[in-house]
């Protein structure tokens, strides 16, 4: 499929894991994809490996805790590409801060909120005027199963941050839907990227991991491809009537009526 021919997509934290998988999927479907990441080496590796497979990705090293850097990077992208059609706020993570609430420091909370919430808010604020001018836009915010049901291995700061992103999604969807822009949240369960694998090994025993797997009705953990496929749908023209949704991708481990 070539659902994104002529579209420009920005993926944050896109040099590895979920972000890279999303970037590759949208590029395969025709998008002009730009990935931001703070790790310049990982960006170089990602763009080179993509090119070896016949896929073009543009990378920019960026510290997304720097609001001025975000504004400048968005302005440069809009000037170069002439438009920004898709924004995937993929940046986030628990940053390996302590799991137990009373063991989390003020700094632990500030860091997790800055990366998961503030960086995404700043990026969205910078991108939205370009979408409004075009009368079209697709925004996907990365939530989490943790933000909806709590977590067995990520702490209260991460849970609160992902819950905040869901609430932010609702307001953006309501405010900008009338001008052709949709905003939705993706809420994955544990997706086995190398980072998540390491965290699970650190915080859960083999027996605990087996019990968690048995609690998932489809009896497997999620993959990067599962998430990339969902993002490709939500950011396509086909999903124009999906707005303000929180899409659970957890194999049925968490369900709501």
* Residue 175: CB atoms within 10 Å: 12
Query: What pLDDT band is residue 210 in, cutting at 50, 70 and 90?
Result: confident
Residue-wise pLDDT tens digits, 10-59: 999 999 999 999 999 999 999 999 999 999 999 999 999 999 999 999 99
Is 158 catalytic? The answer is yes
For 193-230, b/e burial (b = at least 16 CB within 10 A) is: beebeebbeeebeeeebeebeeebeeeebbebebbbeb
Residue-wise pLDDT tens digits, 113-166: 999 999 999 999 999 999 999 999 999 999 999 899 888 778 999 999 999 999
Phi then psi dihedrals of residue 15, to 5 deg: -85, -10
Q: What pLDDT score does 178 carry?
A: 98
Nearest to 93 by CA among 199, 220, 173: 199
Summary mean pLDDT of the chain: 94
Over the Cα atoms of the chain, what is R_g?
18
Residue-wise pLDDT tens digits, 55-103: 999 999 999 999 999 999 999 999 999 999 999 999 999 988 999 999 9
- pTM > 0.95: yes or no: no
Task: Find the catalytic residue in 136, 149, 158, 233.
Answer: 158
DSSP 253: S
Nearest to 230 by CA among 198, 187, 177, 172: 187
Query: What pLDDT band is residue 205 in, cutting at 50, 70 and 90?
Result: confident
Cα 88 to chain center, whole Å?
6
């Amino acid at each position: 499929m070539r659902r994104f021919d002529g579209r420009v997509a920005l993926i944050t934290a896109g040099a590895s894991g979920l972000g890279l998988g999303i970037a590759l999927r949208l590029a395969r479907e025709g998008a002009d994809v730009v990935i931001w990441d703070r790790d310049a080496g990982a960006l170089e590796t990602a763009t080179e490996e993509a090119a070896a497979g016949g896929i073009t990705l543009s990378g920019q090293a960026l510290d997304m805790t720097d609001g001025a850097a975000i504004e400048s990077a968005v302005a440069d992208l809009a000037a170069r590409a002439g438009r920004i059609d898709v924004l995937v706020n993929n940046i986030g993570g628990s940053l390996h801060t302590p799991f137990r609430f009373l063991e989390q420091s003020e700094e632990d909370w500030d860091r997790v909120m800055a990366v998961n919430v503030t960086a995404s808010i700043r990026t969205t604020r910078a991108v939205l005027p370009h979408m409004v001018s075009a009368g079209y836009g697709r925004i996907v915010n990365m939530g989490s199963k943790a933000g909806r049901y709590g977590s067995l291995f990520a702490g209260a700061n991460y849970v609160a941050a992902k819950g905040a992103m869901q609430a932010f999604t609702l307001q953006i969807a309501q405010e900008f839907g009338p001008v052709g822009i949709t905003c939705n949240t993706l809420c994955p369960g544990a997706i086995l990227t190398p980072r998540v694998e390491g965290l699970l090994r650190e915080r859960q025993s083999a027996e605990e991991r087996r019990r968690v797997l048995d609690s998932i009705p489809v009896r497997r953990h999620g993959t990067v491809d599962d998430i990339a496929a969902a993002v490709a749908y939500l950011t396509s023209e086909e999903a124009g009537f999906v707005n303000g949704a929180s899409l659970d991708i957890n194999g049925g481990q968490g369900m709501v009526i």
